[in-house]
Structure 1
Amino acid sequence: MINIEKSNTKIRKNIGGNVFRNAYSGKKVLVTGHTGFKGSWLSTWLLKLDAHVVGVSKDVPTIPAMFDELGLAGRIRHHQADVRDLAAMRTIIYEERPDFVFHLAAQAIVSSSYADPVETITTNVVGTMNVLEALRQADHPCVAVLITSDKCYDNVEWSWGYRETDTVGGKDVYSGSKGAAELIIKSYLHSFFQAKDNPVRLGIGRAGNVIGGGDWAKDRIVVDCMRAWSEGSTVEIRSPSATRPWQHVLEPLSGYLTLGVALAEANDLHGEAFNFGPRAEQSRTVVELLGDLGRHWNFTRSEDAYRITGNIPFHESGLLKLNCDKSLFHLKWEPNLDYAETIRIVSEWYYAYYREQREMYAFTLDQITAYECIAGERNRIWTKL
């Protein structure tokens, strides 16, 4: 376990005052999609950083949901609104006047994009446009980090990582929607946010294959495993050989927060996109991932943990990974956890929830603190003043 008690005592005492240069302490931070999996983790971390968190989401997307299990509705200022509603977004951003915006709201499930392509495209493209338009009209100082996806790239299944300058687009609706969102961001940047005296600074974050406790979205392999195993049943998998660079949710979030600080401190990265992904050695097939997760749930035989169906109802990429050299060079950001640590803390969150019935807000804060302590020990840039 990534254990706080085993972390260096001096680092543990001082880490809270150093994280992200205290840039978020006392600041108003608006998170779209705050009721989702990544949004809930980000909101919790921002609360730990003493930020005033404002959330915008049209609903709570799953049952159960991390947002509910952590009681976040009572800890932040919550707006129920759809990012596709320009009038609502205009009003919220104008009245709240946030110091930072993290735009995470999206239709993020590939299978759902086949079932309802219109919702996927309007949410991911028009929703992004509305956030930008609301920022343009509000015209107040603000740093906005806009989150798209690694699937924004036109994936040709090559073996090296995609760079921020590679072509965006995709063969499926979800990838196309993310590529289109990138084009909208670029056009708004050059049309409205390039003046030297413009108060808004924009950055783009791209990440994918994020796993972690508290995710209950459909058609995600870790979620399917945890649901099945908590009920004592096996899980069905459709693409056992699909290879992904698995990363814990806190990894890209540390990148987004680092980017937000960099944009707040200087204007030289305004409009730039950054990949946030794990090291190449963290790439594993779905079968390898399930085997490693299963060991933490005390499975000794693979047939007890999963079975392969071969039923692939929609296109899925076989290989997709990111080149994160730009993030390392400009932001000095690098991933924090190795693969074994990632698997361990994901398993521990769900085990605490399903088997131990722990109080999950405190448990989640403990995992964030442990992550910060490990980052401090490993001299990650965002833990230093």
Structure 2
Amino acid sequence: MRDYNSLSNLILDFVPDLVFHLAGQAFVPRAIEDPSETLEINVGGTLNLLELLRRSNRKVRFLYVSSADVYGNLTPESLPVREETTPKPLNPYSSSKVAAETYCLQYARCNQGLEAIVSRPFNHIGIGQNSKFVVPNFCKQILEVVNAENTELPKEILVGDLNPTRDFLHVQDVIEAYILLAERGMTGEIYNICSGTETKISEILNWMIEFSKVSIIPKIDPSRIRSAEMLRSVGDNSKLKSLGWAPKISVKDAVREIFEYIRLSEFS
């Protein structure tokens, strides 16, 4: 994304009429550690892509995948959050997404051939997610405890703050939303992609402990607690639903699927 010439060659080779832009640096702790890198990739890379598509002089549908992290901490009265809510980014990652969104919407307004749409997915989960993220991380820790050869060891896992809430959604439902927005989304508009259901991190952990059938003790690890953490997050999905979308997989079923996949693929 940062290599303009390589990206230019890619556009010339493929001559796309539809682009799903998911490329970026998406891990918040890394963004806090190296904000310049995150800015270069998420904003500079997006601008490179937009400019190359503009110069192609073709009609292109362009879906930018932003993040609900842009909303920041919200008052209870503002939840579930709607797309019209003013972003209040809390960290370099969400700041970079707001900036990239702004460029996408600007290009949509100023270039008739570039039909840019912005999506704001909340917390999507599914098989194959990097183990740095909360759901696969908890799964692996619990299964390591369950399968430990030394049964004398305390059945503990390391956790951060379990009180924040998130709006989790199965990745398959997210993909279906992306496809629908590419087909039917309005140019220059923003769409939340979310379940509309608020779930505590502690509830996610309790489900996994239930699946494991073992009593697990969560132990707070200060290094896992973020200084700029959203306390609550849940979105309003009525705008996306108006296009005909609806989530099909419950959060608990999604967590169960991930847990069973990791158990069978890594611990059997």
TM-score relative to the length of structure 1: 0.63
Does residue 288 of structure 1 match 2:203?
yes
Counterparts of 1:324 and 1:111, CA distance in 2: 28
In the TM superposition, what is the alpha-carbon distance from 1:217 to its structure 2 partner?
A: 4.5
Partner of 1:50: none
Counterparts of 1:222 and 1:288, CA distance in 2: 11
1:278 to 195, 198, 202: 195
1:252 is paired with a residue whose SS is helix
Residues 195-225 of structure 1, C-alpha deviations (whole Å, 9 max, x = no match): 3xx2x3222111121211111252x211321
Identity %: 26
Does residue 150 of structure 1 match 2:103?
no
CA gap 1:205/1:278 in 2 versus in 1, 3 angstroms: same
Does residue 342 of structure 1 match 2:257?
no
Partner of 1:176: 95
In the TM superposition, what is the alpha-carbon distance from 1:308 to its structure 2 partner?
A: 2.4
Partner of 2:148: none
Counterparts of 2:120 and 2:158, CA distance in 1: 29
Partner of 2:142: 229
Q: How many residues align?
A: 257
In the TM superposition, what is the alpha-carbon distance from 1:297 to its structure 2 partner?
A: 2.5
In the TM superposition, what is the alpha-carbon distance from 1:154 to its structure 2 partner?
A: 4.3
Question: Is contact 1:146–1:204 with CA below 8 Å preserved after alignment?
Answer: yes
Does residue 250 of structure 1 match 2:157?
no
TM-score relative to the length of structure 2: 0.88
Counterparts of 2:53 and 2:73, CA distance in 1: 31
CA gap 1:130/1:158 in 2 versus in 1, 3 angstroms: farther
Does residue 96 of structure 1 match 2:11?
no
In the TM superposition, what is the alpha-carbon distance from 1:252 to its structure 2 partner?
A: 1.4
Does residue 208 of structure 1 match 2:130?
no
In the TM superposition, what is the alpha-carbon distance from 1:314 to its structure 2 partner?
A: 2.7
2:32 to 79, 104, 114: 114
Counterparts of 2:76 and 2:38, CA distance in 1: 26
Partner of 1:374: none
Residues 276-321 of structure 1, C-alpha deviations (whole Å, 9 max, x = no match): 10132xx22111111102222332x131xx3223552431111012
In the TM superposition, what is the alpha-carbon distance from 1:351 to its structure 2 partner?
A: 2.2
CA gap 1:289/1:297 in 2 versus in 1, 3 angstroms: same
Pairing 1:1-385 to 2, within 5 Å after superposition: 83-159=1-77, 160-191=79-110, 193=111, 195=112, 198=113, 200-218=114-132, 220-232=133-145, 234-262=156-184, 269-280=186-197, 283-299=198-214, 301-303=215-217, 306-311=218-223, 312-329=225-242, 331-356=243-268
In the TM superposition, what is the alpha-carbon distance from 1:231 to its structure 2 partner?
A: 2.6
Counterparts of 2:180 and 2:171, CA distance in 1: 15
2:62 is paired with a residue whose SS is strand
In the TM superposition, what is the alpha-carbon distance from 1:172 to its structure 2 partner?
A: 1.6
1:319 is paired with a residue whose SS is coil
In the TM superposition, what is the alpha-carbon distance from 1:147 to its structure 2 partner?
A: 0.3
Question: Is contact 1:94–1:134 with CA below 8 Å preserved after alignment?
Answer: no
Tell me the C-alpha RMSD between the 2 structures: 1.9
In the TM superposition, what is the alpha-carbon distance from 1:143 to its structure 2 partner?
A: 1.9
Q: What amino acid sits opposite 2:240 in the alignment?
A: S
1:182 is paired with a residue whose SS is helix
Q: What amino acid sits opposite 2:241 in the alignment?
A: L
**Structure 1: gaps (5+ residues):** 1-82, 264-268, 357-385
